[in-house]
Amino acid sequence: MNEEHGIGKNIADMTVLITGASRGIGADTALRFAAVGMNVVIHYRNSLEAANEVARRCLEVGGKAYTVAADLRSKEQILRMKERLDHYGLHPDILVNNAGISHYGLLSDVAEEEWDDVMNVNLKSVFMCSQLFMPYMIRQRFGRIINVSSVWGISGGSCETVYSAAKGGVNAFTKALAKELAPSGVTVNAVAPGAVRTEMMERFDEGELKQLEEEIPAGRLASPQEISSLIYFLALPESGYITGQIISPNGGWIT
């Protein structure tokens, strides 16, 4: 099955690695893949209890779930994560680079350490994970790399200059790597959501959220499920002709 797309296994037999999957978009994406019976690797940094809860829910819906810890700012820890997966025979066919941290504040107040931290988590980790896991995809002539970006990586956000720069880098990385890997049957795309109801929105009070919703033509924030459904679609073997795209589900906020 799926021979025309360069791979002979069903999606249920594939393995997906989702970084930052202990909550929010990452957690819902894990459940989305688990529902079709996939091997789902749930990466987390500190939230072991939350990651185990996501794994439990993945098992409930019929998937096979594994948890793995790593600080994605550290190449050494990413290498150890890969070694652990290799030990269990888990070679990701699909990589979802979802882990990220937000940053809000005037650029004039940003310390160099803050800049480095945002860049390392949001951009450098995408480079390191992609570089490490794509050789297996290239060898089998099938793979999916899906980077979770942001609408601010497209348009830029006031008081979110550092975050916008990191996500803009993710978008450029996505377009360039897509061209590099296309001859090998590996697609690279980015999902750049607008405002989504996740923990990243907790700094807004209800009044600010209401004002934000009024700015969005759809009149509301997205749910994590609406983002994970797009990630899942891009991972399908049938989506093999979609590559190098930055797709922004944002309710018409930015067009």
Residue 163 annotated as catalytic: yes
Of 142, 132, 247, 229, nearest in space to 189 by CA: 247
Q: Which of 66, 163, 232, 241 is catalytic?
A: 163
Structural tokens at position 47: 């939230």
The residues near 198 (Cβ < 8 Å, ≥ 6 apart) are 23, 24, 25, 224
Helix (H, G, I), strand (E, B) or coil at 51: helix
Cα 89 to Cα 125: distance, rounded to the nearest angstrom: 23
Residues 41 and 16: beta-carbon distance below 8 Å: yes
Distances (CA, A) of 47 to 16, 42, 78, 250: 19, 11, 17, 28
Locate the DSSP E strands across the chain.
15-18, 39-44, 64-69, 94-97, 143-148, 186-191, 246-247
Report the catalytic residues: 163
